[in-house]
Structures are given as structure tokens and as C-alpha cells.
A and B are shown apart, each in its own frame.
With several copies, the nearest count.
Chain A
Amino acid sequence: GGSATGSGGTGGTKPYIAIVSKGSQHQFWQAVQKGATDEATAKGATITYEGPASESEVDKQLTMLQTALDKKPAAICFAALDSKAAGPLLQKAKDAKVPVVGFDSGVDSDIPVTTVSTDNIAAAGEAADQMAKLIGDSGKVAVIVHDQTSQTGTTRRDGFVNRMKEKHPNIQVVAVEYGAGDPVKSADLAKAVMTANPDLKGFFGANEGSAKGVLNALKETGKENKVVAIGYDSGQQQIDAIKSGVMAGAITQNPVGIGAKCVSAALDAIAGKTLPKTIDTGYYWYDKTNIDKAEIQAVLYK
């Protein structure tokens, strides 16, 4: 959602930061927006925040980036759906001397002054290692991904699958299904996977919707606690499932932190400070044992 703290536009003494993210309708992006908005109010900046309805709308995001540039912002925070596709526009920003802060999966280009990123590959790899641990390093597992055309989708899928290949040769990833992040469609697919592989040991749901799908599938087939479920991101249902043990655990990034760091980094850039090439906002593995810890609670959203 593109809600504006203060009037959009160049007006006013406060520096104006335009944030173009990858999405607007998923809670993850809402959390990022929250972090950014809070930081902005704290540090006295105006921001606008928007992103395309789905993470495959590369072209629509470019229009948003273009619009952001037209607003002559003091800085831009940008989570590219496709960095190369955004190349020309980023060049424009550079020519216009508008500092660009990359975030989320980052922007592979030397234009951004810094990138506030999470390493999705490593994060999904972590999920793979945890899965291996939980199923005794052998057996069949499957992955439910939101889509195979968005960067978050592919990186998380590949991070998980490749880690299994490299580190856990006895584990087979028997299926990768794409459920559009729809908890019901994902559930139907997960059930199909279990039908095809009755001896399936574990599921990895690569985003909130997919994870929910896995949980629904297990519930509907009465396989709760029989099949290991690992999720991604947070949200009520996953948190409850982890507390009740139905879900072994999940990877979470720090969406609020990402939002906040974006804005602060942007402000530093405006102030002309030099920034590190990357600011890693990190990711966390959380499960029954640590879910109530403060630093985890801080990065979870409901």
C-alpha cells in the first residue's frame, strides 16, 4: 500500500524518500512499511511506500519507480523484482543524483549506495539444514513455493533444494509445487504431493501463504505431527502452529528492521555519509524453543 506519511511530493523541509517495494498486499511488505514509517516519523522524514500487487509485475514496478523519480525525491529505496530490468531507470536516478538504497533481495548493480538485504539463498539453506536435522538426514521432502517467476520464489526454492543436494545427499526433494501463495490452492497441491509420496517426511513452505497451505493440508489429512512442516515468514497461523508443535519451525527475516534500516540508510546517504556496500538485516530460525525470546518476537508480525 502506498500510504504517505505527510504529503507525497517535494514540498516541505523534511527530506522525502520514495520507497518502491516488491509487494503491497502481503503482510511481509506491510511489516516493512511499518518499520519504514516508524523510522521516518522518528527521524523526521516523509516517505511514500508502494509495490505491485503481485511479485511478477516487473513492468508495473518500473512504472512505479519512474513515478517515484518524477517526484524528485531526496532518496529512493528500491526492492527490485528484476534488477537488470530496472537498469535504465537506476541510471536515470544516478544521473539525477538521487541516491538509491536497495533492499530485500537487493539490486545487483553498482548504482545503489548500499543494499539492505537478506540473503534468501542462505536463509532457505538454513531451512534445509533444519529439515535435515528434524528428519534424520534422510528421506523424502517437498517444497511448496508461491511462484516460480518471482525472485523471492526462485531464490528460496533454489536455496533449499541446492543445500539438500550439497549437504544432504540422502534427502530427496521429490516435488516442488507452486500455489500462488493461496493457502487453499497450496493445500490442495500439498495433499496431492502427499498422495503421490505417502512416505513423505517433510514440507517446506517458502512463504507465508505456502506455509499456511502446508498446515491446512496436514490438518485436512490428519498428518499433523506426522509430517515435518517448516515455514517462512511469520503471521498468526504459523506462530500458533509452531507453539503447538504442528510446525517444527520457520525462517523469518526482519521486515520491520529492513524497513527501518532502509530509511536510516537513505537519510545517511542524503547527508552524504559513506555507507557499507551491504547492510545485512539477517534472518532467524525460530521454533518452540526460542519463539518467545525478545529478539524473535521483535521480528515477528501477526
Chain B
Amino acid sequence: MTTPTASYRSRVQALVTGDALQRILALGALVVLLLFFSAISPPFRTTDNFTSILVATAVNGILAMGVTFVIITGGIDLSVGTTMTLCTVVLGLTVTKAGLPLWIGLPAAMAAGAFLGTLNGLLIAKAKLPPFIATLGMLNVARGLAQILSDVKPIYFEGNPEFYDVFMGKPLLGIPNVVFVMFGAAVIAHVVLTRTVLGRYTFALGSNEEATRLSGVNVDRWKIAVYALCGLFAGLAGILIGARMTSAQPSVGLGYELDAIAAAVIGGTSLSGGEGSIVGTIIGAFIISTLTIGLSIVGVPDQWKLVITGLVVIGAVWLDILRRRNRA
């Protein structure tokens, strides 16, 4: 292993194994979609519409970030959708029923998310339940609780008109704050995943949990941390969706988990664990929302939307697979 060759090889390596290519690819798919719709539909290529797409991406994007961490550990979280709902309800109760100020309600909502996430983590790390089952159970529990706490009625944030403005207001370039919140969250998530020990262990867990354990890493604790983090993101998503609806709707949220997972996987996160990136996930989330909005703008009937969405999910991931294959 002579240094010159090494450094040369490593440069090649970096090019091929680095997430770079993968992102470029997903990004390519997104660009193709955007160009396609822009080409066939003038109304699609309006700033207003692009803003709508950004806004529509926020909630799913943030859910998907949390899910990305979980999937990289080799796990899955089916409960993010309904956890999100529960968090919105918690927010609603704190600010309306309990009449506490927003700056208490928002942390409370996120805490609730982190709490449910921790429960998932405990069930998975300590009780050794398969993530699929633990979080499937939690999906129902969270949904039930959201309805019980809200008495199956929406909770309106009448007392807090500022709530809507804080998140949906457009002080910057006419883009609602939710969008900046999403990108802010993305930056944090990216740094955590790539630059911190939590991120490093997230990958290690997904790569070989036993080897990680035998390296003296407290895998249980870190796994719980990852699920808690995922719950935290769900809490944030809950806040955003609450702001958009100016209310907590106990019955929404079901099905959001699949969109989030799809976003992550389309973005190149591997369900077998050990691989993934936040950038990819964000792109994946954009692909989904662009598709949904694009299709309804060009007036595709609902049943065809289903088929096309299905095919795009398959196609996008397939593309990523082919890329990996050529690499390995």
C-alpha cells in the first residue's frame, strides 16, 4: 500500500462509494419530473405552485428525516404518522385546554413525540421486539390516544392566531416559514447523521449490531436514542401540520408513515440498514409531493394517480439499485 496509489485510489473510491452519485441520481429523477410537468403544463411552472410544492413537502419531509435515522439502523417506524397526530393533540391541549403559552406547548408537543419514540426504542432494544411489530402496535396506540385525549373532536387554536403566522407567514421571499423550518431541520439532521457520534453509531448499528455491541458500544442506549430522535421529528411535523390546519385533527395521520418511508428509500436509504443520507431523503420527499401536485394539476384521475405513484416508487428505487450494482 504505497501512499501515492492509496491517495489516488481513495479519490476514486470517494467518487464511487460516496453518497455523491446517489444524490445526483435521485436529484436527476426529481429534475426530470419537474421539467416534465413544467413542459406539459404552464400553470405548473409558476412560482406560486413551486411554493405550494415546498409547503406540501414540509410535513412529510420532516417525518422522513426521522425515519431515515431509524431505517439506517436497520429498523423501521410505522408509528410516525399517528405519533405526529398525537403530538398535535398534545399541543392543542396544552395551549387551549390548559391555556399555556405556545412557547410551552411547542416543546411539550415535541417532548410527547420523543416520549413515544423512546417507548418504541425500549420495546425494540430492551424487549427485543421486531421494529415492524413494536411500531405497528404503537401506530394503533398513538392513534387511539390522540382520539381519546381529544375526545375525537378537532381542537382549534383559536386563542393563538400567531401560531399560524409563525409557521405559515411569508416574511422571506414570499416563502412560508414552514419551508425554512424544514430546511433548518434538514441541516441539523444532516450534521447529526454525518458529524456526530450518534450518527456514526446509527450507521454502525445498521451495519453490524453485534460487532458494535462487542466493541463496547451501549447499543441499546443508542438505539433508543435513535427512535426517540425519530419521535422528536414526528413532534415537529405535528407542530407544522397543526399550524397548517390551525387545529389538531385526531383522525389524520394514518398513512403518512408510508409516505415518509417511501421518501427515505427513494432517496437511497437502504432498508437493510447501514446506508442513507438526509439529502437523499429530502429529495425523495420532493419527488413524492411534486408527483402528487403535478398529477392533479394536469388533471390525472385519482385511480391513475395511484398506479403512477406506485410505479414511480418502484422505478426510483430500481434506479438506485442499478446504480449500486454498477458500483459494487
Contact = CB atoms under 8 A, between A and B. Distances in A.
A237 B43 contact: no
Interface of B is mostly: helix
A178 B245 contact: no
A209 B243 CA distance: 16
Nearest to A49: B299
A220 interface: yes
Contacts, number: 191
Given A25-B147, A195-B48, A195-B52, A10 B156 contact: no
B52 A70 contact: yes
A72 B52 CA distance: 13
Contact of B152 (A30, A57, A72, A236): A30
Contacts of A72: 43
Contact of A220 (B168, B298, B300): B168
Given A2-B301, A67-B49, A71-B43, A189 B245 contact: no
Interface stretch (A116-124, A127-135, A143-151, A244-252): A143-151
Given A147-B251, A237-B156, A59 B48 contact: no
B251 to A, nearest CB: 3
Interface in B289-311: 289, 292-293, 295-303, 305
Contacts of A237: 154, 156, 246-247
Give the size range of A's interface with the partner: 35 or more
A30 B251 CA distance: 13
Nearest to A85: B245
A234 to B, nearest CB: 12
B293 A150 contact: no
Contacts of A69: 48
A101 B246 CA distance: 22
Of A30, A182, A212, the most chain B CB neighbours within 10 A belong to A182
A13 interface: no
A2 B254 contact: no
A62 interface: yes
A88 B154 CA distance: 16
Given A59-B244, A84-B246, A195-B46, A2 B251 contact: no
A193 interface: yes
A184 B245 contact: yes
Given A70-B46, A150-B251, A50 B296 contact: yes
A63 B56 CA distance: 7
Contact of A2 (B152, B244, B300): B300
Nearest to B42: A9
A64 B156 contact: no
A87 B243 CA distance: 12
A177 B152 contact: no
Interface in A31-62: 48, 50, 53, 56-59, 62
Interface string B27-44: 000000000000001111
Contacts of A220: 52, 55, 168, 176, 244
B168 A88 contact: yes
B153 interface: yes
Give the size range of B's interface with the partner: 35 or more
Interface string B239-273: 00100111101111011000000000000000000
Contacts of A191: 52, 293
Nearest to A8: B299
A279 interface: no
B299 A48 contact: yes
Interface in B46-99: 46, 48-49, 52, 55-56, 59
A104 interface: no
A89 B116 CA distance: 32
B252 A59 contact: yes
Contacts of A88: 164, 168, 246
Contacts of B164: 88, 219
B245 A1 contact: no
Nearest to A3: B301
A24 interface: yes
A289 interface: no
B27 to A, nearest CB: 22
19 contacts: A1-B152, A8-B298, A50-B302, A63-B52, A63-B292, A63-B293, A71-B43, A72-B43, A88-B246, A147-B251, A148-B302, A177-B302, A183-B244, A187-B244, A196-B298, A198-B43, A216-B246, A220-B168, A221-B48
Given A50-B296, A177-B296, A188-B55, 7 more contacts: A4-B298, A4-B299, A9-B41, A25-B250, A25-B302, A148-B147, A220-B168
Interface of A: 1-4, 7-11, 24-27, 30, 48, 50, 53, 56-59, 62-64, 66-67, 69-72, 82, 84-85, 87-88, 147-150, 175, 177-178, 180-184, 187-189, 191-193, 195-198, 209, 212, 216, 219-221, 235-237, 240, 302
